[in-house]
Structure formats: structure tokens, C-alpha cells
Structure 1
Amino acid sequence: MLHQSKGNGDEFINEVATISRTSHVNVVTLLGFCLEGHKKVLIYEFMSNGSLDNFIFKKEPRYTPLLSCEKLYQISIGIARGLEYLHRGCNIRIFHFDIKPHNILLDENFCLRYQISG
């Protein structure tokens, strides 16, 4: 759910249209959205290992495995590839100014997918 609820929803719809045109192995696929009044929700594919911040900040240390240096390196490469695609590779250049571990999602194999959200 997006917390900011400014405007009449046109900006949100434009953002959904832009995000839906992305397709890259390191970018999470947008499956759908919901716009009901001031409620705005983006629905992405499920990423079973959650976000990178869970592994960096260790909210539940006994349940969160350590990531090896090699895995962290591979995640970093995936982040770079996903951002390069957004900035140069897709039809519409997307400059995302909210890059943080919370937006870096990991699948069951700890392969990175970057989440674009407004």
C-alpha cells in the first residue's frame, strides 16, 4: 500500500502504466493494482525471501540466515543491472530516487529483484 494519497489518482495510474511496461530479470513484475478512493495498492509477484533489509538489519537474527560475501556480491551486481535497465534499457527511462534495502526483494534462490514503487 502506498501511504501518500495526493491528487485524484491520475498520477498513480500514469505510474502504474510506466511500471507495467518494464520487463527485466532484476525488476519485480507488477501483477496488478488497486485504486479505491485514496487507497492505492501495487501488487507484485511474491518474493519468498522478502526484502534485503531483513538480512542486513537482522530483525529476527535467529531466523535470518547470514548471506555469504559471494551472495552479497551477486545481489550487488543484480542491483546494478536492474538500475541500469531502468535508467537506460527500457522504453521509458525511469529514475528511481527511493533506492533502499526495503525495495530490494529476494526470490527463493536469493536472486535479486528490484521493486519499483512510488
Structure 2
Amino acid sequence: MKKHEHALLLALSESEKTTSDAIRAQSQRLKRTALSSWMAVAIPVIVTLALSAGAIWAMSWYMNSQVEQILNHRATLERLAEEGAEIQLTYCGDNRRLCAKIDESAQTYQGGYRILEGY
């Protein structure tokens, strides 16, 4: 009976070791799966946030340059208005060519140039 008991204990011990090894291996596989699942979510989120931050920075840079350009144009228009340049341009004829009124009382300059009305 002792021999049988000893053989049974050996079989149980070996079975316990095999089960324990299987559990440990499964635990390692689950850890790898959990890590890869976490990375599959985290990486796209991080990339999306980085791209969004880059887009926001680029748009703010672009808008600042546009605001600066608008301010420069306003300053130029104010300076021209102070100098008397209130020229009104329109489109003339069937071809819609750009035209302006000419001050016909002003003298003619070399090459046929004349002063525009309002300047």
C-alpha cells in the first residue's frame, strides 16, 4: 500500500508541477496579449493627439502671419489715405479691364502718364 501511495503522491506532484507550469505559461501569454492590446489602443491615441497638436500649432502660426499681413495692409491703406490716394478702381468694357478715373486737368508726363483722380 505504501508503494501505491508513494506512486500516487509522485503522480500528483508531477501533475501539480505540469498544471503550475501551464498556468504560468498561460499567465505569460495573457500578459503579452494585454500589453499588445494596450499598445494597440495607446499608440493610435498618442499619434492622434500629436497630430492634433501639430495641426493646432500650424494653424496658429498661419493665422498669426495672416493677421500680421492684414495689419500691414491696413497701415499701407492708412498711409495712402493720408497722402490723398483715394483712387477708385472699377472694371470697364466688355472685357472687364481694370480702369480708374484720370485727372484731366493735370499735366501729362513722359510716356503718356497722367495723375489719377483722387490722388
The structure whose RCO (Cα within 8 Å, separation 6+) is larger is 1
Say whether the fold is shared (TM-score over 0.5).
no
Q: Computing the radius of gyration over CA atoms, which structure comes out larger, 1 or 2?
A: 2
Task: Give the TM-score normalised by structure 1.
Answer: 0.23
Higher strand share: 1
Task: Give the TM-score normalised by structure 2.
Answer: 0.23
